[in-house]
Amino acid sequence: MRCALTIHPDGTLILLDTVLTCSDHPSQAMMDLLMMVLTSGRERTEPEYRSLLKEAGFSLTRVIPARGHSILESQPV
């Protein structure tokens, strides 16, 4: 992730995305399937985002639910 190279040391990285929860609602499974088929991407859980951001040099500081999506707040480490 190039963000870690350009962000100010006390900056904040904001992501807007869907965060999977421990739900068995069919719409979550359908969205995950669509992401895999149409974009080669996938939906992630909070621990998966935490791990992904850690690999990119960030810490996940806050997850704010927002109408079907979430705002993920992250800072460089």
Spans of all domains in the chain = 3-76
What pLDDT score does 32 carry? 67
- Cα–Cα nearest to 42, from 34, 51, 53: 34
Q: Which two tokens stand for residue 31?
A: 């969205």
Q: Does residue 1 sit in helix, strand or coil?
A: coil
The model carries a pTM of: 0.77
11 with 75: CB under 8 angstroms?
yes
What pLDDT score does 63 carry? 96
Chain segment 25-71, per-residue pLDDT in tens: 677 667 767 777 887 777 889 999 999 999 999 999 999 998 878 99
Query: Could you say which DSSP state residue 41 is in?
Result: -
